[in-house]
């Protein structure tokens, strides 16, 4: 199903800074409004506090006995701007002092406004000073002068203040401060918008600069940006296009590509898995370990479980071959190659691998080895049955001539005897070569016998002491495994003589319930390890033979402090004795 392309009104490099700018402006307006509202409340409280102080001073002045001092303090309170009127009433409610002369000696309830009278009633009830405003236009303050008498009457100081002027002044100050704060915040938002817009443009250019080495360009998915292009849309388009092309590649290659975590759980596998293993790839993704266990032959389980361990230690690549059982029961050979996946800092984050069916190649290799083995045996038989017989006949005639010359006391008798000796040695040598090319039956316990004869033949052929150790009985029932192990051992011995110049060679053969092990040790030159270009045909054939039976070959210097080389071949017990259980 095709996914629709995402659409956005503005390119990302413009949309994000614009969103930040709008958010900053909205936040500035909101915070300015809150700040202004808070300061207006504070200004109102300041005005009310001033009115309360006036009423308190008025009440204090009315208690003074000195009329001049009292008049001076009352006159000082008159200088407060915006003060509408002020009165002092006695216990009977008669005004005894007023800034308005017309109210003198009148009842305050007859002249004061209703809002002021309501505030007076509240004060008379609880005896507490009070202040109150009306629509931010007028404010009243009532202050009790003394304690109420027995009848609840009390002297009061009452003040009314016009808030229009003070509030306008306070509002002006608050608005001026709020506008200044808003301008500073708007300037900060503008600078942030400019920096963010510049950063995003630069970052996008770096992220999507034309780099021909990237995977997106390799599959032909190239991002294009202009002033009207949205980055999300373009990224989605490029990823969708590259994903489709990679899916097409994965669908058409025969190799199985997979990706695993560091704990060896498969997180991706290409569709070719189904063609190679005959099982759905979802089975591997659902339970990697169970799927491998059912598909791979048991003798390879331990090897494959540890095959990726060198990658965790820094190896650039690992490779191995194993056999699988498809869902239809067919046995196939698979070649596995794994390599590390690293992040930008070089840290290992995943492991990737490629698997391919190499059954036909293995069959061809086996056929080549079989042809080579048959040719070896034919040559060995020809040498034994023809050449050795001819040499024996020549030796018999030479001995006859040598005896005749000796009886006739000929001076050539000594040379004739030497020729007879050389002919005998040549016959022995040819028979040894024939036995090496065409060994006796190696199946079962014959393998131990054949290995022992091989070691003795090497000692006789090269005149180098060779020792054979086999502490316990070793049986190899598989004819092909016996031949491969014999030829690998033969190549080990030949290489030890040709390249090591040893003074002695030891061959050790042992077997347990898991493997058959052959170890050839010499005290000559230490093995330095040939490069890939220097691997001879003999070493390559050894690897082919080892791979044919699932064996492993190791050639390395001795670790006991003595110069020399140790060549080891370890073959699975199940390959050497397929009909014998590998576990007790």
In the listed set 384, 407, 438, which residue is the last one of a domain according to the structure?
438
Tell me which of 378, 413, 438 is where a domain ends: 438
Two tokens, residue 573: 């017990």
Q: Where do the DSSP E strands lie in 461-577?
A: 466-469, 505-511, 515-522, 552-557, 565-572
**Distance separating alpha carbons of residues 387 and 430, to the nearest angstrom:** 8
More confident residue, 93 or 171: 93
At residue 440 the predicted structure's pLDDT band, cuts being 50, 70 and 90, is low
pLDDT tens for 320-356 read 888 898 888 888 989 999 999 988 888 888 999 999 9
Are 116 and 91 found together in one domain? yes
Flag whether pLDDT at 60 surpasses 90. no
Quick one: pLDDT at residue 245? 76
One domain, residues 113 and 64: yes
What span, in angstroms and rounded, lies between the C-alpha atoms of 446 and 450? 6
Q: Which of the two residues, 520 and 303, has the higher pLDDT score? A: 520
For residue range 102-133, list pLDDT tens digits in order.
Answer: 888 888 888 888 888 888 888 888 778 887 87
C-alpha span between 366 and 564 (Å, rounded): 32
Q: How confident is the model at residue 468 (pLDDT cuts 50, 70, 90)?
A: very high
Eight-class DSSP state of 448: H
Helix, strand, coil share of the chain (percent; to 5):
55, 20, 25
Spell out the residues 6+ positions from residue 139 whose beta carbon is closer than 8 angstroms to its own: 47, 48, 51, 131, 132, 133, 160, 161, 163
Lowest mean pLDDT among 263-267, 454-458, 527-531: 527-531
pLDDT of res. 583: 44
Q: Are residues 119 and 28 in the same domain?
A: yes
Question: Mind listing the pLDDT tens digit for each residue in 505-527?
Answer: 999 999 988 889 999 999 988 87
pLDDT value, residue 466 = 92
User: Is residue 341 domain-shared with residue 331, that is, in the same domain?
Assistant: yes
pLDDT at 314 over 80: yes
Whole-number Cα distances in Å, 478 to 323, 447, 572: 17, 10, 12
pLDDT of res. 530: 56
Give the mean model confidence (pLDDT) for residues 73-101. 73
Which two structure tokens, joined as six digits, stand for 225? Answer: 């940006």
Rounded Cα distance between 259 and 273, Å, is 12
Give CA separation, 97 vs 52, 107, 532, in Å: 18, 11, 120
Say how many C-beta atoms besides its own lie within 10 A of residue 321's C-beta: 17
Distance of CA 128 to the CA centre of its chain: 74
Which is more confidently placed, 356 or 247? 356
Residues 346 and 369 in one domain: no
Mean pLDDT of 290-310: 84
The domain of 337 spans 253-357
On whether residue 510 sits in a domain, the answer given is yes
Q: What is the number of domains present in the chain? A: 4
Higher pLDDT, 135 or 390: 390
H or E element at residue 391? helix 388-407
Q: Is there a single domain that holds both residue 568 and residue 426? A: no
Has residue 218 got a pLDDT over 70? no
> Which pair of structure tokens corresponds to residue 92?
């009977």
Q: 486 and 573: one domain?
A: yes
- Please check whether residue 288 lies inside any domain of the structure: yes
The Cα–Cα gap between 569 and 78 comes to: 117
Q: Given this model, what pLDDT does residue 518 score?
A: 94
Phi, psi of 4 (to 5 degrees): -70, 150
484 pLDDT above the threshold of 50? yes
pLDDT of residue 533: 44
Please say which residue of 438, 467, 491 terminates a domain. 438
Q: Give DSSP secondary structure letters for 117-154.
A: HHHHHHHHHH---EEEEETTTEEEEEEE-S---TTS--
CATH classification at residue 353: 3.30.450.20
Determine the pLDDT at residue 64. 56
- What average pLDDT is seen over the chain? 78
pLDDT of 70 > 70? The answer is no
Residue 212 has pLDDT above 50, yes or no: no
């Amino acid at each position: 199903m095709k996914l629709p392309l995402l659409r956005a009104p503005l390119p990302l490099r413009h949309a994000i800074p614009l969103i930040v700018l709008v958010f900053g402006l909205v936040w500035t307006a909101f915070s300015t409004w809150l700040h202004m509202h808070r300061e207006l409340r504070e200004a109102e409280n300041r005005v009310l506090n001033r009115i309360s102080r006036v009423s308190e001073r008025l009440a204090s002045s009315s208690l003074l006995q000195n009329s001049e001092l009292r008049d001076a303090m009352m006159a000082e309170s008159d200088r407060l701007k915006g003060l509408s009127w002020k009165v002092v009433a006695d216990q009977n409610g008669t005004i005894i002092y007023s800034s308005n002369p017309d109210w003198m000696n009148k009842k305050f309830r007859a002249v004061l406004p209703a809002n002021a009278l309501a505030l007076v009633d509240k004060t008379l009830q609880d005896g507490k000073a009070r202040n109150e405003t009306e629509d931010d236009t007028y404010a009243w303050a009532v202050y009790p002068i003394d304690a109420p008498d027995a009848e609840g009457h009390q002297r009061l100081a009452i003040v009314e203040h016009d808030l229009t002027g003070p509030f306008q002044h306070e509002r002006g100050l608050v608005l001026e401060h709020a506008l200044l704060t808003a301008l500073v915040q708007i300037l900060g938002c503008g600078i942030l918008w400019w920096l963010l817009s510049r950063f995003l443009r630069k970052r996008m250019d770096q992220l999507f600069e034309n780099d021909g080495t990237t995977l997106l360009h390799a599959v032909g998915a190239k991002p294009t940006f202009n002033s009207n292009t949205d980055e999300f849309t373009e990224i989605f388009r490029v990823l969708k296009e590259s994903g489709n092309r990679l899916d097409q590649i994965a669908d058409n290659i025969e190799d199985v590509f997979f990706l695993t975590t560091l704990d060896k759980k498969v997180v991706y596998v290409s569709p070719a898995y189904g063609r190679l293993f005959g099982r759905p790839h979802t089975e591997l993704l659902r339970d990697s370990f169970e799927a491998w266990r059912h598909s791979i032959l048991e003798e390879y389980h331990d090897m494959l479980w540890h095959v990726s361990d060198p990658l965790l230690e820094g190896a650039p690549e690992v490779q191995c071959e194993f056999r699988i059982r498809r869902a239809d029961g067919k046995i196939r050979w698979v070649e596995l190659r794994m390599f590390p996946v690293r992040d930008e800092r070089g840290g290992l984050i995943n492991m990737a691998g490629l698997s391919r069916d190499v059954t036909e190649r293995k069959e061809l290799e086996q056929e080549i080895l079989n042809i080579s083995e048959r040719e070896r045996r034919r040559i060995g038989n020809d040498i034994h049955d023809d050449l050795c017989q001819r040499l024996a006949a020549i030796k018999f005639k030479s001995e006859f001539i040598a005896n005749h010359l000796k009886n006739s006391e000929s001076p050539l008798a000594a040379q004739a005897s030497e020729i007879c000796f050389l002919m005998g040695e040549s016959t022995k040598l040819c028979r040894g070569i024939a036995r090496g090319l065409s060994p006796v039956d190696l199946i079962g316990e014959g393998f131990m016998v054949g290995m022992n004869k091989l070691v003795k033949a090497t000692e006789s052929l090269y005149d180098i002491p060779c020792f054979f150790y086999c502490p316990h009985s070793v049986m190899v029932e598989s004819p092909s495994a016996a031949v491969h192990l014999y030829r690998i051992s033969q190549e080990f011995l030949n290489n030890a003589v040709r390249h090591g110049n040893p003074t002695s060679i030891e061959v050790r053969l042992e077997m347990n319930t898991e493997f058959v092990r052959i170890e050839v040790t010499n005290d000559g030159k230490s093995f330095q390890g040939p490069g890939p270009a220097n691997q001879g045909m003999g070493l390559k054939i050894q690897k082919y033979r080892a791979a044919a039976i699932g064996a492993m070959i190791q050639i390395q210097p001795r670790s006991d402090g003595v110069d020399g080389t140790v060549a080891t071949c370890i073959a699975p017990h199940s390959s050497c004795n397929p009909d014998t259980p590998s576990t007790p």
